[in-house]
Structures are given as C-alpha cells and as structure tokens.
Amino acid sequence: MYKSYYGKILRINLTDQKISTESLSNELIENYVGGMGFGVKILFDEIDPRIDPLGVENKVIFSVGPITATRAPMFAQTCVVTKSPLTNTILNSYAGGTLGYYFRKSGYDAIIIEGKSEKPVFISIFDDEVDIRAAEDIWGKGSQESQKIIKKKLEGLKVQTAVIGQAGENLVRLASIVTESRTFGRGGAGAVLGSKLLKGIAIGGTQSIELYDEESFNKYCNEAFELIKKEISNPQTLLAGFSNIGTMVGIDLLNQMGAMASRNHQTGVWHGINEVNSTTFKEKYHVSHTACFGCPVHCGKKNRVKTGKYAGLIQEGPEYESIYALGTECDIRDPEALIVADFLCDDFGLDTLTTGVLIAYTMEAYERGFITKDQLDGLDLRFGNHEAELEMIRKIAFRDGVGNILADGILNAIKHFGEETRSFAMHVKGLTFAAWMPRVLKGMALAFATANRGACHKRAIIGMEVMGIVDPQATKGKGKLIKEIQDKVNAIFTLIGCRFSEFVYPVDLYVNLLNSATGLNYTNEKFMKLGERIWNLERVFNVINGFTRKDDTLPERCFEPLPEGPSKGYKLTREEFNEMLDEYYAERGWSKEGVPTRERLKELGITYAYDKMKKFTSG
C-alpha cells in the first residue's frame, strides 16, 4: 500500500440509506493519483454518460489528494466531480479554504454519493461514524444559516460543512456548493445535490496519514515555501499582488491591455475604473486577509459594507472573477453593491461567475430590445442598475418569474429571448465566459473553446499571456501550448494543487512532493501523461454526449473587432481560430472532428474508454 492514503472510499447510497466502505486499489492510485483523477475515473466507470444530470443515476464524488492537509503549501483544495446539469458535460469543480483539511482528518480518500433520498437530509461524517440525518428543518434556508444549524446539531465534533442554498434546492442549474469559506462554483454541482434532496455534508475526524519519506517531503515543502516567499517579495509578480491586495489586482492590469471585459464583452475598456479598481476594496472596505489551509499567500480578502441596508455585512470577497461577472460585465460601479451581490450569490448558493455573465447577457438583450420590461417582470435591467441586478440574483435563485428562465442557464435563455441573441451570449458549451477576452488573449480563445467543462479559465494560460511571456496575439504554437497546459493543470488537480501554485512551482516540485509523500515513482513525463489521460477520459465522456468540433467554438462577438482603447481593432478571425483548433487536435492525436483516436487512448492506457465510446456512438 502506498503511503499518504487511507486506502478507503466511502460510498453512501441515499436511496436505500446504505453506507459502505471500499478499498482504494493500487491501480487507481498509480494511474489517477487522487482528487480530480479519482473523481473522473470513478464517474466515467460507474455511470452511463448520457444520463440526466438531475436524475437519480447521477453521482457526486468528493475527493482530496495525497498532499492535502500536509505541510506542503497550496494543496488545500477539495474536488467534486459529477455530470453537469448546466452543460451536460463532465464537471470537476474545486473549493479551497479548510474543507480539505477536515476531509483528510476523516480517514477517507474519496466519497461517492449516489441515489436519491425521499426527504431532505444531510450527511455527517466523523471517522467511522457516518450518518444520514434529517434536514427538513434546514431545507429552504440560505447557506450561512444552514451551516450554523448543522454545526449546532453536531456540537462537540470538529467538522466543516459544505451545503447548498435555496438555488440548489430549486434545481437552479448554476447552483454552487458553499463551504465555510470557499465555494464549488462552476457547473451546477449544487443542483445535483438538490436533486438528491441532499442539503450538504459535514465532515471531520481524528485520523492522520503517514508519509513515505518524511525527511525528503519536508525538504520539498521548504523549497515550496522559499519559492512562494521569493515570489511574493517581488511586488511586480501576480502572486505578490494576490497576497497584498487580492486577485482583483488583475483589474488595472487587464484594463491597461484593453482586456478588462465589460458590458457583456462589448469592450475591453472598463469605464468604471475610477470607482472599481485593483485597490478600491483594499483602501475602503478591507477587513482581513484569509487563506486556504496552510497557504502563506492568503489571497482571500474579507470586506465590510459600510452603508445602506446591508451596512455591517462582512463578506469574503468579491474576488477578481466575481468583480468581473457581477461588476464590469454588468457595468456596476458601486463597490458596496458588489460585496452584497457576492454575498447573496453565496448565501443563495449561486455561482457568481455564471450568474453575473448571465445577467450581463440579459441586460444587453433588454437594452437592444430583444426582451421587454414586462418580460423581465417590470425590472429595469439596464447596464449599471445594481438594484435590478440584486433583484435578478434573487429571482434566479428562487426561479421567480423571468428568473425561472435564467435558472436553466444561458442556452435556455437564448431559446426564450431569441436566436438573434446567440451572437452575444458569451459561453462555450453552456458555461459562461470567465474574465478573459479571447480577442486580446488568443491562447485563451482556444482554452475556452476546448475546455471540457466549458469556458473555463482554470485550464488556461492566464499568467503567460497577461504577463507577456508569450505573445497574446500570436496564434501559431498555441495549440501545442494549450494542450500542454491543460495536461499539466489536470495533473496538478489530482494533488489537489491550487491553480496559482503553477505560477511558482516547476513540474519537478509537484512530482517530488508526490513521490516523497506516497512512495509512487512518477517522473515529469509520467505526470504530464497523467493529466493527459484524465483529459482524454473527460473528452470521451463528452463525445458520448454528442460534443465534437462543432461545440469547441466561440460566440460571434469574439470574431468582431474591439471598438476602443488599447485593444481597438483587435479581433480573432475564423481562419486563425480554425488553424489553432487544427493544431490543437493534431497535438492531442484526435481526429479533425475532435474525437480521441484508439491509438492515442491505447498509448494512455485507456483503450477501454475507446470501446465505451464506440459502444455508445456507433449506430
């Protein structure tokens, strides 16, 4: 048995209330390592990929990695894998904070939740004590209150909770799962919990893991701390900015490039820069820094609302992506309204990023006359109207009126608001854009188009293009680069490393930490192949659901020139985009239609995935 694992998977069936444990096989450890790898492999093997994501057959896999909750900094996250009700693709989503630490103390490497309860429940896990408990009294409550009630019920046990708010209960397809500090945001995992009548989990325990080679592991941890220290002592680096001010340092930087997506990606110039910029929150609303378990970067920031109805409210956030989605995209220039919007999304259990961009699209559809004020239940949802934004957030969470349309995501909104709105519906595969502009950052264009869960920034070359390490406007070579980054990030997510660790850690360091913790014998090359194996399994899952080249695409707006500022005239041409995609598929060893070939899957040791794909797609 390898070290740094407990060798146990917990399986909870909500239909028959059966709770069991299974051994973690060496095969799973050697080829999938942990975190995302475990989740993707288990889901791929255990479900028919074509199932209804909100049906009883869908499963939810929570997992941690072999380095979680050790001394190693920036490995604090927890992973959730399920089939997304928003995109119909496979979904993996991450939450930092301290949930991973408590998960690790429980003595399990992964938790599989399946079936559907008859009544609302929550699951409590503390060492071997695993219970499915009634949650009727919590159903209908927001995430914060729910967490408090669950913790009260479990008084005396040191646990952390991850719950859904009303959005998840109402099967809103952009619902998140909210932990006590961070959130599993993207892709609607909260709605999957809601479909199972599962309010959430509370987890903790008294277990501890054993390392394979503690001395070496400590040496590599020290190396990691040194790298972080050096990076954050240089004020020019992104990590230093994250540490001092928060991820919102990106606002000024991106705006200077003409790439701060604003008003539903109509422009890359943020006209509210004087009101909402990289230092607004630090200077006026900052309360304290927050960090994931053991992380010296502490990129999280708590802010306090000072005036109005919500005066005194303290919220962790908003971070950069939320400021973009709820702020620059909707042209909301009131920082306090942004703190409140961020809070409401968290409390109702809505993904801020998806919610904001969905509202921005609706604002544009309204201003351009595709929908009327009546269709918006009388809301004057123009750009900049923060009161209307806050009300729309509530409407989505409760499926109230027009909120019922938006609650099923942007693809459903296009159906209702008209085919003409498709050109400015900023999404890929139904997942709305993260805060990056494909017209300025062309590698990002390819990353958005090809990411398995939709327009995702976490599988992309954020730092490299923004910091000018590679030419953001170049297209040649981006296919190869994006493929490599996607594989690398997937491998990091098996550990489960924070996405920002990649700014400072060389691949060697991940490999050395992994080997010294577990006794595995990874090389850099094998580590990259690990990421590629998982990427291909995800892709096969999606191909079985009908996703091919036609879905690896971008909305029309990305092919129009930008109107103003430093990026004036920048656009992506169809030719450039298709060339990048061809290069990318060739690097992946896939067909021109973006379908993995038998040869490549065989090389990755997953020929069985090809057979499964053929079984579902032939005839």
Residues binding ligand SF4 (CB under 6 A): 74, 76, 96, 291-292, 295, 297-300, 498, 500
- Least distance between ligand SF4 and beta carbon 458 (Å): 11
- Least distance between ligand SF4 and beta carbon 202 (Å): 22
- Least distance between ligand SF4 and beta carbon 77 (Å): 7
Under 8 Å CB-to-CB from 309, ≥6 apart: which residues?
Answer: none
CB atoms within 10 A of CB 199: 31
Residue whose tokens read 């729309």? 392
Among 167, 174, 177, residue whose Cα is nearest residue 200: 177
- Helices H / strands E in the chain, number of each: 24, 17
Comparison of 352 and 362: residue with beta carbon closer to ligand SF4? 352
- Least distance between ligand SF4 and beta carbon 243 (Å): 8
H or E stretch at 93: strand 90-95
Q: How many CA atoms does the CB half-sphere of 544 hold within 13 Å?
A: 23
CB atoms within 10 A of CB 387: 12
- Least distance between ligand SF4 and beta carbon 100 (Å): 10
Rounded to whole angstroms, how far apart are CA atoms 408 and 172?
A: 6
Rounded to whole angstroms, how far apart are CA atoms 320 and 299?
A: 11
**b/e burial code for range 534-545 (CB count within 10 A of at least 16 → b):** bbbbbbbbbbbb
- Least distance between ligand SF4 and beta carbon 293 (Å): 8
Would you state the structure tokens that stand for residue 313, as one six-digit string? Answer: 């409210």
Distances in Å between the Cα of 150 and the Cα atoms of 95, 111, 136, 180 are 19, 19, 12, 12
Strand partners, 299: none
Would you state the structure tokens that stand for residue 414, as one six-digit string? Answer: 């296009």
Under 8 Å CB-to-CB from 222, ≥6 apart: which residues?
Answer: none
Query: Pairing relation of β-strands 160-163 and 90-95?
Result: unpaired
- Least distance between ligand SF4 and beta carbon 460 (Å): 16
Comparison of 297 and 461: residue with beta carbon closer to ligand SF4? 297
Comparison of 76 and 517: residue with beta carbon closer to ligand SF4? 76
- Least distance between ligand SF4 and beta carbon 211 (Å): 20
- Least distance between ligand SF4 and beta carbon 476 (Å): 32
Comparison of 293 and 343: residue with beta carbon closer to ligand SF4? 293
Rounded to whole angstroms, how far apart are CA atoms 220 and 509?
A: 7
Comparison of 96 and 194: residue with beta carbon closer to ligand SF4? 96
Rounded to whole angstroms, how far apart are CA atoms 265 and 65?
A: 37
Alpha helices in 196-348 (DSSP H): 214-233, 238-244, 250-256, 280-284, 320-322, 335-348
Handedness of CA 345, 399, 144, 203 (dihedral sign): negative
Comparison of 269 and 291: residue with beta carbon closer to ligand SF4? 291
Comparison of 297 and 601: residue with beta carbon closer to ligand SF4? 297
- Least distance between ligand SF4 and beta carbon 431 (Å): 20
Comparison of 61 and 295: residue with beta carbon closer to ligand SF4? 295
Comparison of 90 and 299: residue with beta carbon closer to ligand SF4? 299
Would you state the structure tokens that stand for residue 419, as one six-digit string? Answer: 């085919």
Phi, then psi, of 536 in degrees rounded to 5: -70, -35
Comparison of 188 and 241: residue with beta carbon closer to ligand SF4? 241
